[in-house]
């Protein structure tokens, strides 16, 4: 059938055979022509799909390796080795946190936050759901942190009171960044953090011994943990890459890591972010060449946008600026904070006289200045967006300036980044990104990095972490290519309680709470799926308030119903529809209070909500939230 015939049902009628019976109908089978010749009906009120829940619910149709009744009876409530992830599985850059439990002792690794998606209006960020620890706070003996990115440390102020009173361990830079984060929350009790550097080892309780090892990432002091338990050794690393020539950091000690593998590793939990990318991740040192070329050939001001926590990249730019005789200025709240912390601890080295203040920008020749700013992801209030919009107090866009986006695109931020780029191009700027030149290297290893570490560690069991589900699956495929049996690969979900034994693993039939907890202003956990769904509906079709005064004695409408519209229609431009709504409201009220009927407020409000909603959908094919207010006078 042609497209025109689909659009015009009468064409189908005209082309249908005129005989009254067909072979199909004589056989008692349904005559398909009567369905084909019907004109499409008008959509009903209920046809329009409601907005999908803002928080997508994971549907597990099957669960591999669920323990038997004997397993559960033998394990009991606390016996044996368990792994429980509160976040970080099936997702990237969000709520990374894991609990490792043996009998009645628990250690934690990380406690990060997640930034909201576009369909989460009003949400500031999400944090891990640590409901599993309720009633077990006295079991939590230690809390370790792998590195200082917010998706690994950002939730600390919000969950610290729910994890008991453990000893806290972090490398010097990570410790400083956590302490800085805590300063933003004056009402929280001070956090005592012990420095835990690469090479350090600590015994925790009766069952755990934890040793830190250096591993490469985009921020200094990234740690891999070797965790000895009565069942066997666990190796855990969230974010890493196998970079033999890192910038501003030392490479991983491969001989040390190989020695761990030689001693035997029961379980490896490793980063899956790059498991779908071929080859090796680009070395940080490889970025230097193209950055230097751009900064050397820049005709005006050079502005580098990157993550505030990418301190190795910041050091690269500073070193190149000093080599080329240029000044450096920093902007962005988190950028300035992180740089000052890193300078104080010696992780960023900058010569006297290189750094200038924002107030000095106007007096410095533009071609002799490099600005390192936040906002490469298109954040609305970040420094780069304010510069692009001409709203920055000290840095103004001028034709010929060079803008370098030294970061990858986080999925979901494409439109915001494109907007910033377009704004800059409109101002005559030159814009460069990682898709054009090697101006960014991921902090996460690709397939060959993952393969290399698997060959070094040689675990008995693998649990991929930190990645979308497809990335975790592909991490498992790489392990199978290296000889690890498929049945030894554990693809878990947040909240799974995974039991690890010396020669097997199994999943508890009961899950730990795993829905993320949302933070909105001062509220923590008081925003759930229902509230988010309401917010999404309001953002799509708005709402309508119908205020009706009803005389208690007669049941008649007193005066004219008040209609208030927000986000639905502008009432002054839709007077006819407003008049029809008022008539409809009167009709509904009169129809339900006639003949001396008592006024049933609850029923009447439901009728107003449903019938006005249906009426508006028929008129506009939009469905605002209708809020009836009934006043008896």
Catalytic residue among 110, 222, 239, 271: 271
Of the candidates 85, 69, 76, the one whose C-alpha atom is nearest the C-alpha of residue 104 is 76
Residue 161 designated active-site: no
d(Cα 387, Cα 358) in Å, to the nearest integer? 13
Catalytic residue among 152, 444, 475, 499: 444
Of the candidates 76, 23, 86, 79, the one whose C-alpha atom is nearest the C-alpha of residue 514 is 86
**What secondary structure does DSSP assign to 242-277, as a single string?**
--SS-SSSPPP-HHHHHHHHHH-EEEEEEE-TBTTS
d(Cα 555, Cα 473) in Å, to the nearest integer? 65
Hey, CA dihedral for 178, 182, 184, 185, is it positive or negative?
Answer: positive
d(Cα 308, Cα 235) in Å, to the nearest integer? 29
Judging by beta carbons within 10 Å of its beta carbon (0-12, 13-18, 19+), is residue 188 exposed, middle or buried?
middle
Residue 446 has what DSSP assignment? B
CB 19: neighbour CB atoms within 10 A? 6
Q: Ramachandran region of residue 79, left (φ > 0), alpha (ψ -120 to 50) or beta?
A: beta
Q: What is the CA radius of gyration of the chain?
A: 31
d(Cα 238, Cα 273) in Å, to the nearest integer? 10
DSSP bridge pairs for 228: 209, 233
Read off the tokens for 286. 């490889």
Residue 444 designated active-site: yes
User: Catalytic residues, which ones?
Assistant: 271, 444
């Amino acid at each position: 059938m042609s497209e025109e015939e689909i659009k015009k049902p009468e064409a189908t009628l005209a082309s249908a055979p005129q005989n009254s019976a067909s072979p199909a109908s004589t056989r008692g089978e349904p005559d398909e022509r009567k369905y084909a010749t019907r004109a499409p009906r008008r959509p009903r009120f209920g046809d329009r799909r409601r907005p999908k829940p803002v928080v997508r619910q994971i549907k597990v149709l099957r669960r591999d390796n669920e323990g038997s009744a004997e397993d559960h009876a033998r394990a009991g409530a606390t016996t044996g080795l368990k792994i429980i992830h509160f976040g970080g599985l099936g997702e990237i850059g969000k709520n990374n946190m894991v609990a490792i439990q043996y009998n009645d002792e628990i250690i934690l690794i990380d406690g990060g936050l997640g930034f909201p998606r576009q369909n989460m209006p009003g949400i500031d960020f999400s944090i891990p759901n640590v409901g599993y620890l309720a009633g077990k706070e006295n079991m939590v003996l230690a809390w370790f942190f792998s590195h200082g990115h917010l998706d690994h440390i950002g939730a600390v102020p919000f969950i610290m009171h729910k994890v008991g009173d453990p000893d806290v361990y972090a490398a010097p830079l990570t410790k400083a960044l956590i302490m800085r984060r805590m300063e933003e929350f004056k009402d929280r009790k001070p956090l005592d953090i012990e420095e835990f550097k690469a090479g350090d080892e600590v015994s925790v309780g009766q069952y755990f011994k934890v040793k830190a090892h250096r591993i490469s990432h985009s921020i200094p002091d990234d740690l891999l943990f070797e965790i000895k338990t009565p069942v066997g050794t666990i190796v855990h690393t969230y974010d890493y890459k196998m970079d033999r020539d890192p910038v501003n950091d030392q490479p991983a000690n491969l001989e040390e890591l190989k020695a761990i593998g030689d001693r035997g590793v029961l379980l490896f939990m490793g980063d899956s972010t790059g498991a779908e990318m071929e080859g090796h991740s680009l070395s940080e040192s490889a970025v230097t060449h193209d950055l230097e070329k751009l900064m050397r050939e820049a005709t005006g001001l050079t502005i580098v946008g990157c993550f505030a926590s990418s301190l190795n990249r910041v050091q690269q730019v500073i070193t190149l600026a000093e080599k080329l005789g240029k000044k450096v200025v920093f902007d962005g709240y988190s950028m300035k904070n992180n740089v000052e912390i890193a300078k104080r601890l010696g992780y960023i080295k900058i010569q006297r006289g290189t750094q200038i203040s924002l107030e000095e920008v106007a007096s410095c020749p533009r071609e002799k200045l490099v600005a390192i700013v936040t906002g490469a992801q298109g954040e609305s209030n970040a420094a780069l967006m304010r510069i692009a919009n001409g709203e920055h107090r000290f840095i103004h866009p001028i034709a010929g300036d060079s803008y370098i986006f030294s970061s990858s695109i986080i999925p979901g931020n494409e439109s915001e980044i494109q907007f910033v780029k377009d704004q800059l191009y409109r101002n005559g700027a030159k814009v460069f990104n990682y898709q054009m030149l090697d101006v960014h290297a991921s902090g996460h290893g690709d397939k060959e990095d993952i393969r290399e570490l698997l060959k070094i560690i040689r675990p008995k069991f693998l649990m991929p972490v930190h990645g979308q589900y497809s990335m975790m699956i592909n991490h498992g495929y790489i392990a199978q290519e290296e000889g690890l049996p498929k049945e030894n690969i554990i693809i878990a979900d947040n909240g799974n309680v995974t039991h690890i034994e010396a020669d097997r693993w199994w999943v508890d039939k009961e899950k730990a709470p795993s829905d993320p907890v949302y933070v909105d202003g001062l509220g923590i956990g008081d925003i759930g799926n229902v509230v988010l769904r309401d917010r999404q509906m309001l953002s799509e079709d708005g709402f309508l308030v119908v205020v009706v005064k009803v005389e208690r004695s007669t049941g008649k409408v007193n005066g004219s119903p008040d209609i208030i519209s927000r986000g639905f229609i502008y009432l002054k431009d839709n007077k006819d529809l407003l008049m029809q709504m008022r008539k409809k409201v009167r009709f509904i009220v009169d129809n339900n209070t006639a003949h001396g009927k008592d006024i049933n407020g609850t029923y009447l409000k439901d009728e107003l909500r449903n019938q006005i909603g249906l009426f508006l959908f028929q008129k506009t094919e939009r469905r605002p939230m209708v809020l009836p207010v009934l006043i008896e006078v």
